Amino acid sequence: MKTRTSKTSVSRRTNRKALLLSLLAISLSACGGGSSNSNTATPVVTTPVVTTPVFTAPALPAGGKPANWKLAWSDEFEQAGLPDASKWMFDTVRNKEGWFNHELQYYSKDRLENARVAGGKLIITALKEKLSSAPDYGGQAYTSARLLTNGKASWTYGFFEIRAKLPCGLGTWPAIWMLGTKGSWPDDGEIDIMEHVGKTKGQILGSAYTNFYNWANGTGNTKSTTVGDACDNFHNYQLYWDDQQLAIGVDDRYYFQFVNPKTGDYKKWPFDSPQYLILNLALGGDLGGPVDDSIFPSQFEIEYVRVYQK
């Protein structure tokens, strides 16, 4: 049976086809196809602007003790004899196997020849001698001392001031520095308030090391300043430390700044946790270099250690 088509249905199909063709032409025009008529409007595509926050480093603090900060801990070295055992301990843990950085000294404990308080000063003395009778002797040709506040005092943030006169003989390597109490290096951070080696007399080094920033990775963060009479006179070696930055200086002038990037990355900023203080006189090693045996006895003198906090 034939199917018949009415004029009405053909007309509807024709109108529908015309409508579809019209819509197709509009679509092609919007996509860049079809007519090149300049009067045809082209849609404007707007690219969103992404703004990256700019990190601004904090300004260096004014030199010297911050106003209104109070003394939280100190040692004025007024009692003659061995260092105050309530404030300091002797570190001897690596004597047998040898100290880090290929250093050459044996660190003694409770031995006035190497660490004593006299005349209002702590005097750390390095000597050319072999303590072969010591049970932890490791074959060293020199003795010295390394004092820590670990287990007795530690701090998170503060202003640290250590007044000291340095030894300058070739091979000497005195240091005033800090390590994290959690006990992992470099993960828990190291702050070097003062390092000096006799082969570069008067050059004072300040550093901050972390898991990310350290000399072993080639990313060490160290700067220097010159104190020409560091071995002849006492100077104030200083650290300002808060949740924004570390600033290291001498005599109220900062020359080193290490800024908290505020990313929450512990590998780059572990300095929101406690650190303890270290005073030591090393000999030789990777930084100290060859030792001149004619320099002994060699003395590192500390007049006081003071810690201020908000």
Q: Give the tokens for residue 151.
A: 């287990």
- For domain 70-309, the CATH class is mainly beta
Name the 3-class secondary structure at 195: strand
- Tokens matching residue 242: 């808060």
Strand order in the sheet with 203-209: 89-90, 146-148, 275-283, 172-180, 190-195, 203-209, 222-226
Measuring CA to CA, which residue among 219, 226, 278, 214 is closest to residue 255?
226
Contact 225, 200 (CB under 8 A): no
Residue numbers annotated as active site: 190, 195
Contacts of 27 (CB under 8 A, 6+ apart): none
Q: What is the pLDDT of residue 293?
A: 98
The number of beta carbons lying within 10 Å of the beta carbon of residue 91 is 17
Alpha-carbon gap, residue 39 to 50, rounded angstroms: 33
The pLDDT, as a whole number, for residue 21 is 39
pLDDT at 55: 57
SS3 263: coil
User: How do the pLDDT tens digits run along the chain, 310 residues long?
Assistant: 433 333 333 343 334 344 333 433 333 333 333 333 444 444 554 455 544 445 577 999 988 999 999 999 999 999 999 999 999 999 999 999 999 999 999 999 999 999 999 999 999 999 999 999 999 999 999 999 999 999 999 999 999 999 999 999 999 999 999 999 999 999 999 999 999 999 999 999 999 999 999 998 999 999 999 999 999 999 999 999 999 999 999 999 999 999 999 999 999 999 999 999 999 999 999 999 999 999 999 999 999 999 999 9
Output the six-digit token pair for 33.
């196809």
Domain edges within the chain:
70-309
Distance CA 230, CA 236 (A): 10
d(CA 123, CA 121): 6
